[in-house]
Chain A
């Protein structure tokens, strides 16, 4: 029997708190799960620094990847025998779903920003390079790794296949919303996924939703909106991200100026220079990064040491709301005062904006900006979701953005009460 058709003698199941069970019958999928590049995802947290806000949020990209695979498996099961669905694409969809996050690095967001990396490039490299994952996919058929890479890169010719993994209502989002809600313990993020799966219909180049399922999709859109503001963009998590970014900036700056670290930061060296090789990239997971942060607490450099101590022991920056238009002069004065107070403003006075953590709100796709969610009407016509749903229209029409100013209040409080600098800083910050 060809490798691509090989089935396990008995179905393997993973117990899963979100989907109850993840079912694996294909030999290929089972082998991929066992590959070291996939097992590495156990050591990358799904929500980065959110565990410092929501103590339960310690789940990994491994959990999520299995969840996305399971959702796609169920969608495909529902699609069997429906028009527009090509059953020959089944294994490709399952592999792409399982492997879509393969290139994520430690604390992806901050690392990518500071070192100007893109995890999607590394996903492609893992799929197409000299890796165990590539060896397994290559056994399926010639060119199969490239097909999986194209689906994940959204450049595969069959757009229906792409839309299962990546569209405005896809398996990726349906898993992470529910999983993140479960592990953070919040009550948002829940929606009737079973209902959505039942009303999904394959069309030529996208998945659409039967009009009768509109209310289930409204719930899904609402949960996306609420999870963003309540979990993903939580101000305390943003404070942790700010500190983490500053740690990485400081370590890089010190390295570039010839500073002698007490422990040579071997795993970071290639990140400091240019783009790390795939091997170097894969070797730096979150456990390794946290090891360095712990060690750097004892570094001679007071800024690196302080920032690491803050991150490891959750001594985060405080924040105030900030309007860069109305408060530009105040910001410039604060910058001067922080310098005077001996607090380097490049590390201790940080403006963080909502665009620093992009999260895709539902977009109705006006002017072909991006493909919206389409409802399949009883007369077989397609209608854009927000044109039919007032709830979705009100959310997608609202442009809520936000800017916060982060700073170490504890360091300011330590200053003498007679200090005019302290008095003025606090006056500007708190009025």
Chain B
């Protein structure tokens, strides 16, 4: 029962607090691509890989009181923060699910901007292609973002680092 929900709660237990919906989406996608067993299905969207399943699960966890969502009004937009509640911790104590330790990669990703995580997740989306084609794809589908060669180079390094910390 609720195995995929429990995995997400483990994620929140390892991450203390996640700020931003876009960041949340991209972090889970990157972890999934690093073989962390999330089952949320992703599709490519305007801002890179996005999972409606994940959005719905988060909403369910909020409605159940397992995760707390707060909304802050910023200049031109709203920002959301997510944190595991005591009820969520209780549930996790009752519900044993095998899950790897992801504290380190999550901490590394939290430090990055959502723009950078969008780049990393987009590159991972095309990772089945040769390296040059991945970069070409990024310049094509993310032309508006104007990613620089340096950012792409940094993203390759970051992918390697994250893969290393999840294994």
Interface residues, chain A, CB within 8 Å of chain B?
118, 120, 153-155, 157, 159, 205-206, 323-325, 328, 331-332, 351, 353-355, 358-360, 363, 366-371, 399, 401, 403
Contacts and interface: CB of A to CB of B under 8 A. Distances in A.
A118 B21 contact: no
A325 B66 contact: yes
A166 to B, nearest CB: 8
Given A366-B80, A367-B77, A403-B60, A205 B55 contact: no
Contacts of B46: 159, 205-206, 370-371
B94 to A, nearest CB: 6
Contact of A118 (B2, B41, B66): B41
22 contacts: A155-B44, A324-B1, A324-B2, A325-B65, A331-B1, A332-B94, A351-B1, A351-B2, A360-B52, A363-B55, A366-B21, A366-B77, A366-B78, A367-B22, A367-B78, A368-B47, A369-B47, A370-B46, A370-B47, A371-B45, A371-B46, A399-B59
Given A153-B44, A367-B80, A401-B56, 17 more contacts: A154-B45, A155-B44, A205-B46, A332-B94, A353-B2, A358-B41, A366-B77, A366-B78, A368-B114, A368-B118, A369-B25, A369-B47, A369-B55, A370-B45, A371-B45, A371-B47, A401-B59
Contacts of A331: 1
Q: Which 4 A-B residue pairs are closest in the complex by CB-CB distance?
A: A371-B46, A355-B56, A401-B60, A399-B59
Interface string B76-105: 011110000001000100100000000000
B143 interface: yes
Nearest to B4: A355
A370 B52 CA distance: 10
Contacts of B45: 154, 370-371
Contacts of B94: 328, 332
Contacts of B64: 323-325
A359 B66 CA distance: 22
Interface of B: 1-2, 4-5, 20-22, 25, 41, 43-47, 50, 52-53, 55-57, 59-60, 62-66, 77-80, 87, 91, 94, 114, 118, 126, 137, 140-141, 143-144
A353 B21 CA distance: 21
A358 B53 contact: yes
Nearest to B60: A401
A370 B94 CA distance: 35
Contacts of A205: 46, 144
A155 B79 contact: no
Nearest to A205: B144
A354 B4 CA distance: 13
B101 to A, nearest CB: 24
Contacts of B80: 366-367
A324 B45 CA distance: 32
Contacts of B126: 155
B99 to A, nearest CB: 18
A65 B66 CA distance: 40
B47 A355 contact: no
B57 A355 contact: yes
Contacts of B65: 325
